[in-house]
Amino acid sequence: MNNPMLIGSLAVGVLCCVLGLVGMVTTGWLTNSVFDVGLFSLCGPRGCASYAAEDSIAAAKAFVVIGWLCALVAAINTLVYFIKYATSDVPNRTLPLIAFIFYFISGGASLLGAIIFAAGGKSEAEEAIGSSTLGYSFALTIIGALLSLAAGALMFVHRSRIGGPI
């Protein structure tokens, strides 16, 4: 099969899911010399513990989780389409459209979660742990979101190159 856009979308989509998952579950969203804060837990000198997220952190958590779930749905959809497309000459434009939509929802939701965290969640967490800097988990989430948008764009280009209805 000679379709680089489809293969690229699948590869970038899987990478987006991996980076998004690592960024979401690790404790490197905020760091200082004593604490590492993630969306779900806080690590300090005595170990790690979960905490009750409120306001901006809770909103950021919700958007990042929604973004990752949409990326996962899009990647699975792309894989199903890849398997179907590789074994059949029948064009299907619906599955690429679904993947495109979910990749873009994923990218938008994850970026919105990161923006909410940077705008409000950082100051909320700093009230509890002191001055901190944004860490690697925050960056991985943004990279995953941008890769999700790239995977969606690749899927859109692939869809525009195939024939058939809708």
Confidence of residue 99 (pLDDT cuts 50, 70, 90): very high
Least confident of 33-47, 78-92, 136-150: 78-92
pLDDT at 166: 57
Phi and psi at residue 31, in whole multiples of 5°?
-135, 145
pTM given for the model: 0.91
Element (H, E) at 165: none
The token duo for 126 is 């700093």
Domains annotated for the chain, with CATH where assigned, are 4-26+53-161 (1.20.140)
Confidence of residue 73 (pLDDT cuts 50, 70, 90): very high
Mean pLDDT of the chain: 90
Could you tell me which of 43, 14, 25 has the C-alpha nearest to residue 137? Answer: 25
Pair 113, 62: CB distance under 8 Å: yes
In percent, the amount of the chain with pLDDT more than 90 equals 61
Residue showing tokens 């490197």: 28
* Rounded distance between C-alpha atoms, residue 139 and residue 137, angstroms: 5
Does residue 82 register a pLDDT over 70?
yes
* 3-state class (DSSP) for residue 88: coil
* Rounded distance between C-alpha atoms, residue 105 and residue 115, angstroms: 15
Q: What is the pLDDT of residues 103-143, one digit of tens each?
A: 999 999 999 999 999 998 888 888 888 888 899 999 999 99
Could you say which DSSP state residue 46 is in?
T
